[in-house]
Each structure stands twice: as C-alpha cells, then as structure tokens.
Amino acid sequence: MARRTLTAAVLAALLGAFGSLPTPGAAQATPKFKVQKWNIGGEGGTDYLNAEPGTGRVFVSRSTHVMVVDGRTGKVLGDIPDTPRMHGIALAEKHGLGFTSNAGDSTVTVFNLKTLAAVKKVHIPTGGLDGIMYDAFSDRVILTNHSRPIGTLVALDAATGDIVGTVNLEDTAPEGAASDGAGKIFVNNEGTSTMQVVDENTWKAVASWPLAPCEGPTGIAYDPVNKRVFSGCSGTSVVTDPATGKVVATISNGEGVDAFGWDPAEKLMYIPAGRSGNVTVVHQDGPDSYTVVATVETVPGAKTISVDPTTHTAYLFQPEYGPPPEGAQQPPAGRGRGRRPRGPIVAGWFVAITH
C-alpha cells in the first residue's frame, strides 16, 4: 500500500512539472509554419516553379522568361530570356543543365545551370508543351503535353536533349508526372480524372487507374519508402497504391490546385489552392493514414508550389493584377474561358513557407 502511494506521488509531481506524459504512439507536436513574402516584380504570368535542392535558388516561370530568385532573401539573381509561353522548369544537376517547356514555339530551352546561358533549343513535334520533370533513374527529362488530338508524354535524353521516346496518352490534358525510381512514370490526366502508368523500357502506357473521388488531378509526387503516389486535386486529393492502382486515402484541401509539394524527410505534403489562397499541409502518419496539420494563408491565385527537400522550405509565386481597363473583353474560348479580364501586373509575390 505504501509503495502504491509513493508511486502515485511521484507521478503527480511529474505531471505538475511537465503538464502531461505522452501516450504510446502519440503524434509529435504540430509544427508552426512561418510565411515570408517578397515583391520581386517582373513581367508576365506564371505556371510552375522549381526549387534547386540545397542551393537556395528558385526558378520561376514568367510566360516569356524565367526569373531565378534567392529563396532566402527574395532577391532576383538572374533571368533566362526567350522562353515563349513557357510553363515549367526541370533541373538535371548531374549534367549541370536546366530545361524549360515552351508552348509558344513548341521547344525546350536547354540552359547552363551555372551561367544561366542558353545551350540549345530542342523542337518538340507533338506541341502543347506543359509539365516537365527530370527523372534521375532513367536520366531523362519528361514532358507532359496538351497535344492534339491526344495528349502525349515525350522523353528527352538529359545529356543531349535528344528525343528518345513518345507516348500517346488517353487524355488531351496530362498534367504532373512522377517516377517511381524503378522504371515506371505515373501521369495525372486532368480531363479523365485518371492516372496512367508508362513503362520506361518500352515507352508505352501499360495501365490506367480511375482516381475518384478526385476530380481533375494535376500535381503529383511519389513516396518510394511507402510506395505511394500522391495526386493533388481541387477539394479532395488522393493517395494511390501503385501495386493495385487503388485509391487508399483521401485528403480534404482547398480549390484551384495545380501542383503538389512533398518533403520526404519531414513526411509533409503541401497542397496549394489558388482559388482558396492557401496551402493545406498534411502529415503522413503511415502509408494509408494522413492528418491535416495546418492551413497556411498565402496569396490569392498561387496554385503551384515547389519544396526544397534540403532546407524544408516550400515556395510559391503569383502575380497580382490591377483593375482591368474599362471595356476589357473576355478571353476567347479555350483554357482561359471563364477567366475574368486582367489589368496590369502591380506586384509579383514570391512566397516562402518554413517551419
């Protein structure tokens, strides 16, 4: 009896000192997120951006050029011109080269990562250039193109820029692509709300999986540790098991998603929502278990994101537009249909999220 009393007293003292004792399996404390914003100016709209791991540099698409920004200070470090209607940037550090997807003239600009000088332009016959990524496993640059009459995936040799494979997809609007690091490429199809699997040995699409309840999947990432594919979708994002093609988890997030950030070391997802003006941050508790840990306010319209896995910083960019001129007309039918007329750019907001 005396022993039990002594134990209870010690426990009470501990609780008084520390507030509470952790329960077995309890989650770690929720991280607090800090947002920094810089007006970096510049002309042109935007689509994707890409953080170079460990260097602090962030490559930001600006319609006809690429701004290179110091992610720690917001200072503009350089500019890559002559990228007409460009969408994204891929980085192949192994070769010291970068690549931009230019829809305006259906080319890829290959540039030197150190000097930012253009090395060459590669013509892509399929047209419709949009997404772009570097696959270290195959040493290929992967393009996902809104081609007509059907979307395509085009693979380039990262050392030379030569086209080494072209794959016809099932949708005219393929978006993000991710590699499993073992010979498979996963592609989100926005129009059909499916994910296709491309075999890098044959350069053929070998599977197609529905992603319901996701609608219009865009951004994508792959977790090689737990073997899961993450698809960013407006309203409800999904996690897929690539062994079965089945959706194993869903995540609630904002509207207007166009990219997906993944920090494997921190096990954190960053899902940007342009219409909601925020980023949903999600912790991976297990392969099929996910918890929303924060909703971080950014800037309206910021719908793409890039995470530096070395510094654990997430970056976004979005121009701010002033009032449209009096009597401005709606954009013509097409991808801009339903978009309100825009005025001149009054600011270019570069955003960093840290914790």
Helices and strands in the chain, H and E counts: 1, 28
Closest CA to 177 of 138, 148, 212, 213: 138
pLDDT by residue, tens only, the chain of 355 residues: 333 333 444 334 433 333 333 333 334 567 799 999 999 999 999 999 999 999 999 999 999 999 999 999 999 999 999 999 999 999 999 999 999 999 999 999 999 999 999 999 999 999 999 999 999 999 999 999 999 999 999 999 999 999 999 999 999 999 999 999 999 999 999 999 999 999 999 999 999 999 999 999 999 999 999 999 999 999 999 999 999 999 999 999 999 999 999 999 999 999 999 999 999 999 999 999 999 999 999 999 999 999 999 999 999 999 999 998 877 666 554 444 456 678 999 999 999 999 9
- Look at residue 15 and tell me if it is in a domain: no
Assess if residue 99 is contained within a domain: yes
Whether 171 maps to a domain, the answer reads yes
Residue 241 within any structural domain of the chain: yes
Distances (CA, A) of 239 to 108, 134, 214, 247: 31, 22, 10, 6
The domain of 310 spans: 32-322+341-354
List residues bridging with 310 in a β-sheet. none
CA distance 186 to 220: 8
Q: Report the domain count for the chain.
A: 1
Residue 14 inside a domain? The answer is no
Looking at residue 94, its pLDDT comes to 96
Specify the pLDDT at position 6.
Answer: 37
Q: Could you tell me whether strands 163-168 and 152-157 are parallel, antiparallel, or unpaired per DSSP bridges?
A: antiparallel
Whether the Cβ atoms of residue 258 and residue 303 lie closer than 8 Å to each other: yes
- Quote the pLDDT of residue 342: 84
Assign 3-class secondary structure to 48-87: CEEECCCCCEEEEECCCCEEEEECCCCCEEEEECCCCCEE
What does the pLDDT read at residue 86?
97
Alpha helices in the chain (DSSP H): 2-18
pLDDT of residue 226: 98
Amino acid at 148: R
What is the number of alpha carbons within 13 Å of residue 45 lying toward its C-beta?
Answer: 11
Task: Tell whether 200 is covered by a domain.
Answer: yes
- Local structure of 2: helix, strand or coil: helix
Q: For 268-286, b where at least 16 C-beta lie within 10 A, e where not — what string?
A: bbbbbbbebbbbbbbbbee
Judge contact between 250 and 212, C-beta under 8 A: no
> Do 298 and 35 form a contact (C-beta atoms < 8 A)?
yes
Contacts of 298 by beta carbon, 8 Å cutoff, 6+ apart: 35, 272, 277, 278, 279, 316, 318, 351, 353
Name the one residue in this structure whose structure tokens are 């401005």. Answer: 328
pTM for this prediction: 0.89
Query: What's the pLDDT score for residue 332?
Result: 55
Q: Is 154 inside any structural domain?
A: yes
Structure tokens at 42: 């510049």
CATH number, domain with residue 97: 2.130.10.10
Is the residue at 233 inside a domain? yes
In degrees, to the nearest 5, what angle opens at C-alpha 315 toward C-alphas 182 and 350? 150
Cα-based distances in Å from 250 to 163, 238, 352: 36, 4, 26
